[in-house]
């Protein structure tokens, strides 16, 4: 499996692009709804760039640690406010399969908003669900590792290495070979602290 590390500066750049796309479309959301956990940071940045104070979230579980996928996307924490007759901007980090957005949209529409539009930083063309706003299209599928999930994802990938490497240098090489992940030994040392004892 190939991976791509997304930097904080890239997140900022993509969210600014998303905000510009929303602005150019003349859509004026009353509220932003983040899909937690991945959409929390992008949603907050969009609120800042679009000058929107109303922000809430729903938690949908589809992927567990690393790239481990559950069979179905499930709402863990539903919407807890009234959005009836409001214009909603639903935000997530990535549109991978489209399943998470399907569940989120169905859930939000049950609250009778006047309109819901979707925004993601990354839109993979392998998805079955289109979005209203996407900052970047991913043509060749790969797993995206966002800054807020680096420890979780990379620790999970390390545990999948077989046999489990004994040194940082060996781990570095295997991560690069199997996942295309290039990180410094200093950062890699942090991830080792989160691994369960062998």
pLDDT tens string 168-188: 899 999 999 999 999 998 888
> What was the pLDDT predicted at 48?
98
Q: Which domain holds residue 59?
A: 8-139
d(C-alpha 44, C-alpha 148), whole Å: 14
pLDDT at 197: 61
Q: What's the pLDDT score for residue 67?
A: 58
How does pLDDT run across 87-97, given as a tens digit for each residue?
A: 999 999 999 99
- pLDDT at residue 78 is higher than 90: yes
**pLDDT digit string, tens, across residues 103-142:** 999 999 999 999 999 999 999 999 999 999 999 999 999 9
Residue 144 lies in a domain: no
Instruction: Please tell me the predicted confidence (pLDDT) of residue 106.
Output: 96
1, 3, 65, 198 from 163: Cα distances, Å: 17, 20, 20, 12
Q: Would residue 162 count as lying in a domain?
A: no
Please indicate, yes or no, if residue 187 is contained in any of the structural domains: no
**Whole-number pLDDT of residue 196:** 65
Other C-beta atoms lying within 10 Å of the C-beta of residue 172: 18
Residue 27 is assigned to a structural domain of this protein: yes
How many domains are contained in the chain? Answer: 1
Report yes or no on 17 lying in a domain. Answer: yes
Crossing angle for the helix pair 40-50 and 8-24, to the nearest 10 degrees:
50
In sequence order, which ranges of the chain are alpha helices (DSSP H)?
A: 8-24, 40-50, 99-109, 150-160, 168-179, 185-192
| pLDDT per residue as tens digits for the range 15-56 | 999 999 999 999 999 999 999 999 999 999 999 999 999 999
Mean pLDDT, residues 65-69? 58
DSSP-derived 3-state class of residue 81 = coil
In DSSP terms, 55 is beta-bridged to 32
CATH code assigned at 70: 3.40.50.2020
Structural domain contains residue 108: yes
190 lies in some domain? no
Residue 153, domain member (yes or no): no
pTM of the model: 0.91
- Phi-psi sector, 140: left (phi>0), alpha (psi -120 to 50), beta: beta
């Amino acid at each position: 499996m190939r991976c791509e590390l997304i930097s904080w500066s890239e997140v900022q750049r993509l969210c600014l692009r998303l905000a510009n796309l929303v602005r150019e479309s003349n859509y004026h959301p009353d509220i932003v709804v983040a899909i937690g956990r991945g959409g929390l940071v992008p949603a907050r940045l969009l609120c800042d760039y679009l000058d929107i104070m109303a922000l809430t979230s729903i938690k949908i579980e589809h992927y567990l640690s690393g790239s481990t996928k559950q069979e179905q996307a499930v709402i863990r924490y539903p919407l807890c406010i009234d959005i009836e007759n409001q214009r909603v901007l639903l935000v997530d980090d990535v549109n991978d399969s489209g399943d998470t957005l399907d569940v989120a949209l169905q859930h939000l529409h049950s609250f009778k908003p006047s309109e819901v539009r979707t925004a993601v930083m990354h839109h993979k063309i392998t998805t079955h669900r289109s979005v209203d706003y996407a900052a970047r299209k991913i043509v060749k599928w790969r797993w995206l590792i966002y800054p807020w999930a680096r420890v979780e994802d990379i620790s999970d990938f390390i545990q999948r290495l077989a046999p489990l490497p004994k040194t940082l240098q060996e781990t570095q090489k295997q991560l690069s070979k199997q996942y295309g992940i290039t990180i410094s030994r200093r950062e890699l040392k942090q991830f080792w602290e989160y691994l369960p004892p062998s």
